[in-house]
Amino acid sequence: MTPEIKVEAQTRYRFGFVLNTTIGNMTRYVNLRKYAERDPTVSFVWAPVSHYLPNVDRGLLSFLPRGIRLRAFVLGQTAPVFKQLNQLDAVMVHLFEADILLPLRRCVKKWPLLFSSTDEAPMVNRSTYPLYPNDLTKPVWRQQLRLAIDMWRVRHTDYFVPFSAWAANILKDSCRAPRDRVYPIHVGLDLELWPPVARDTSHRLDKTTKLLFVGGDFIRKGGQLLLEVFMQRFGDDAELHLVSAQAPNDLPPRVYAYRDFRPNDPRLRNLYAACDLLVVPTSADTGPLWVFIEAMASGMPIIGTDTGSNCELVRHGETGYIVPIGDETALGDAIADLIDDPPERERMGQKGRALVESHYDAAINVPRILRVMKRAVDSRRQT
């Protein structure tokens, strides 16, 4: 029997959340849940979903192809929300599988309201979209099928809360989502865990500039490119710290690897405080990258690339530098400029912290998201 949602006297809304928690999305889920549950007017049902399951190759469905088994395990994790759909006022989804099933259900049942929230947007223009390596190998018919599915999802979704203005513009301009139903709001960083960092490097006897790279997918995030540029131009004058489980084992002098950090890991916060400059020359990301927000909250300038919504965070000349994808010379020159100009690093770092406080504070943004959901439910109730 499905357990009933317990609704306290002051509760006026019942919201469900089906959220992807793989890689950086875990931070989003943790921050959203922490600040959402401070709202006494809402009763919540959570379905955090991971695509990395140790038992995917065992169990009753082991006879099925692995891809089908994985989808089955993923959908099984949505049960807390799916079992109580008839009792909910709204559901927010950041999971492709649920983004298919819930619009299908809406063809016969118009309640609860459906909110889609993701860092991606439909790939309406392949020539300008940040293409991941797996996108490059997909046949044309698969790309066209996925686009058709995404456009259908847009037509059968009530509201959109994308992570960035970049994704919001694609939804509004290319997918014809109603403009009054698209609200670009990033969940934001938990600034209770990320206080301002006092950056005093005067104690360093050698004045060595410390560069930092953070990225799970070492190659796609530009880790190998950065390593090569560092060895060619900065190996004698700086340090490079690589936070990635995929970092190479055989590293040259003055390069250090950290392979076991977790979301909101205090060791990562300490590393942000100890380093001077974040460099992530990613070749493809829809963004905005969590690591950019975390580094900016720590007062670090950023060097990134012009892909997805990166420019919304890394404002060229203000909070860091944007360089062309794959351009070794431009990347090296940007690093050299900031190594040679500590006051500029400090100025950019301060502007980055101010941007996070004003636009990417979870204590502010999560209530904004809930207000959007509440207004939508109130409007539907009235009609």
> Model confidence over 177-222: pLDDT tens digits?
999 999 999 999 999 999 998 875 554 555 789 999 998 889 999 9
pLDDT of residue 50: 85
The CB-based long-range contact list for 147-151 (8 Å cut-off, 24+ gap) reads: 147/122, 147/123, 149/100, 150/122, 150/123, 150/175, 151/122, 151/175
How large is the average pLDDT for residues 3-31?
77
Question: Residue 383, exposed/middle/buried by CB under 10 A (0-12, 13-18, 19+)?
Answer: exposed
Helix, strand or coil, per DSSP, at residue 316: strand
pLDDT of residue 67: 63
How large is the average pLDDT for residues 295-310?
94
**pLDDT > 50? residue 241:** yes
Radius of gyration of the chain (CA): 22
Confidence band of 234 (pLDDT split at 50, 70, 90): very high
**For domain 13-188+362-382, is the CATH number 3.40.50.2000?**
yes
Confidence band of 95 (pLDDT split at 50, 70, 90): confident
Cα distance between residue 221 and residue 132, in whole Å? 10
**pLDDT > 70? residue 290:** yes
> Model confidence over 320-341: pLDDT tens digits?
999 999 999 999 999 999 999 9
Q: In the chain, what is the greatest distance between 2 CA atoms, to the nearest angstrom?
A: 70
Backbone φ, ψ for residue 66 (5° rounding): -60, -40
Contact 16, 84 (CB under 8 A): yes
> Model confidence over 38-88: pLDDT tens digits?
999 999 999 999 876 555 555 555 556 666 777 777 888 888 999 999 999
Our CA angle for 197, 201, 205, nearest 5°, is 150
How large is the average pLDDT for residues 351-369?
96
How large is the average pLDDT for residues 11-21?
91
pLDDT of residue 315: 94
Mean pLDDT, rounded, of the chain: 88
Nearest to 159 by CA among 182, 139, 143: 182
Contact 292, 286 (CB under 8 A): no
Helix, strand or coil, per DSSP, at residue 278: strand
Domain boundaries for CATH 3.40.50.2000 within the chain: 13-188+362-382, 209-359
Regarding predicted confidence, which is higher, 77 or 255? 255
> Model confidence over 96-132: pLDDT tens digits?
888 888 888 887 888 899 999 988 888 888 888 888 8
pLDDT of residue 57: 54
Confidence band of 4 (pLDDT split at 50, 70, 90): very low
Cα distance between residue 118 and residue 141, in whole Å? 24
Which amino acid, one-letter code, is at 256?
A: Y
How large is the average pLDDT for residues 245-253?
91
Query: Which DSSP string do the residues of 69-121 spell out, in sequence order?
Result: HHHHHHHHTTHHHHTTGGG-SEEEEE-HHHHHHHHHHHTT---SEEEE--S--
- Crossing angle of helices 266-274 and 290-297, in 10° steps, is 60
Question: Residue 180, exposed/middle/buried by CB under 10 A (0-12, 13-18, 19+)?
Answer: exposed
Share of the chain above pLDDT 90, in %: 61
Confidence band of 2 (pLDDT split at 50, 70, 90): very low
Q: Which helix (H) or strand (E) holds 323?
A: strand 320-323
Q: Which CATH architecture has domain 209-359?
A: 3-Layer(aba) Sandwich (3.40)
pLDDT of residue 8: 47
Which amino acid, one-letter code, is at 52?
A: Y
Count CB-CB contacts under 10 A for residue 258: 17
Confidence band of 262 (pLDDT split at 50, 70, 90): confident
Share of the chain above pLDDT 70, in %: 90
Contact 109, 153 (CB under 8 A): no
